[in-house]
Amino acid sequence: MENLTFKLYSPLTAELLPVDSEFCQEDELVELRGRELSAYAAAISEQIEREGDHLEQYLDGESESYLAAHVKSIRISVEEHGGELCGCATVVVDADLTERGWNDLQEYLSGQYSDGWGEGFEQRDIAVENGCLNVHFWQPDNFEFRVVPVECKSQVERSAADVAAAGGGNRIRRPDKKYEITDIAHPVYPELHRIRALRQVTKTVGPGTMGGYIQSENNLSQEKDAAWIYGEAICCDDARVTKNAALTGHAYVCESALVCGETEIGDSACVKDDAVVMAGTVKGNARVCGSGLVTKNFGTEYAPVVEGNATVMGTVAGAVYLSGNAFILPGSTVDNPITDVLAINGNGARLYINETPKFPSLPER
């Protein structure tokens, strides 16, 4: 069975006791984070080597039998990622783990960072030029792994061979599906479950990345697009998210609604009934419902932004900014054919001449 390699990056922090401190007082400690720790990468790496960097040896063959069977190696290091020095677990697994066990693996690593290997490591005093450093792989707040696949030389060679042999039907085995539905149920709606990526979906969503909640695979496309449900967002009933659309925050898409194209539904916004959002941004507490349609103007290619407590039950297209208590009635159409922004709120409308329209702020992909 083919082995796969991934890097799991996580935030790194430390306290520095300056060299001229006479006593180890709390107010003398200097707190450092990823970017500030880059200068100490070599010293931290040396301490990791002394501590021992292979964590697969601690897997329990009885209570963690699945991981012990499928995880070949877990090597701890520090690496630059996204401009910051991060904790890095380089894991080698067999291909089966890309479709199951990722949650257990990340829980195992979190436990090692907080109570096992990491607890011992953070008690080590690392001597550096300007003092003494204590490094933390575990963070009590906002701790998460960013999973990045590593393509080794042999995989690259096989990829090239695969392209050459495409006419003969020879292909490298890759997950057929974009994501799987996990056993993690929504705390309020138990019929909904979290999703987990099985392959690279966007720049920030790779194998093992957890997503929001769906009711069935009908709610989110399994196609080779960048459509994804992030965070605590929900898509349920017969609603569908597809073709690069993104749900973020606590967005809620339900009933027979469709969200597609370069679109973001975020914050606590809701798209329901038979509504369709094909382009633009819907955020805040905005609602698109009934037979509402939000789309771009095909002449200007600009798309609306719907925020605040705005409600759309008609059609909105082009460089239109809805906010406040704006209400687009059923059967009404607001289609801005020019690039100047038409702003509508609960008190009236205004055309902003020669102003750049507010484009959707889609998640980094």
Residue corresponding to tokens 């990791």: 48
| Domain ranges for the chain | 3-150, 179-352
Direct distance between the N- and C-terminal alpha carbons of the chain, in angstroms, rounded to an integer: 31
Confidence of residue 250 (pLDDT cuts 50, 70, 90): very high
As given in the structure block, the two tokens for residue 270 are: 């809701």
Could you give the C-alpha distances from 345 to 288, 318, 325, 326, in angstroms and in order?
Answer: 15, 16, 6, 4
Residues 6+ apart with CB under 8 A from 245: 227, 259, 260, 261, 262, 263, 264, 265, 277
**Is 170's pLDDT higher than 90?**
no
167, pLDDT greater than 70: no
Cα atoms in the 13 Å half-sphere on the side-chain side of 39: 9
Residues 259 and 281: their CA atoms lie apart, in Å, by 11
Tokens 């998640």, residue located: 363
Question: Which residue type sits at 201?
Answer: V
Return the biggest CA–CA distance within the chain: 76
Report residue 362's pLDDT band, with 50, 70 and 90 as the boundaries: very low
pLDDT digits (tens, 9 = 90+) for 93-133: 877 665 557 778 888 899 899 888 998 999 999 998 888 89
Residue 168: pLDDT band with limits 50, 70, 90? very low
pLDDT tens-digit profile of 84-93?
899 999 998 8
Measuring CA to CA, how many Å separate 291 from each of 238, 251, 267, 278, 328? 15, 19, 22, 13, 11
Lowest model confidence (mean pLDDT) among 59-68, 75-84, 144-153, 298-307? 144-153
315 or 147, greater pLDDT: 315
Q: How confident is the prediction for the chain on average, in pLDDT?
A: 84
- Which residues lie closer than 8 Å to 357 by C-beta, 6 or more apart? 302, 305, 319, 321, 339, 341
Q: Average pLDDT, stretch 275-304?
A: 95
Instruction: Please determine, for residue 153, whether its predicted confidence score (pLDDT) is greater than 50.
Output: no
The pLDDT value given to residue 151: 59
pLDDT band at 163 (very low <50, low <70, confident <90, very high): very low
> Would you place residue 268 in the very low, low, confident or very high pLDDT band (cuts 50, 70, 90)?
very high
Tell me the pLDDT band of 83, cut-offs 50, 70 and 90: confident
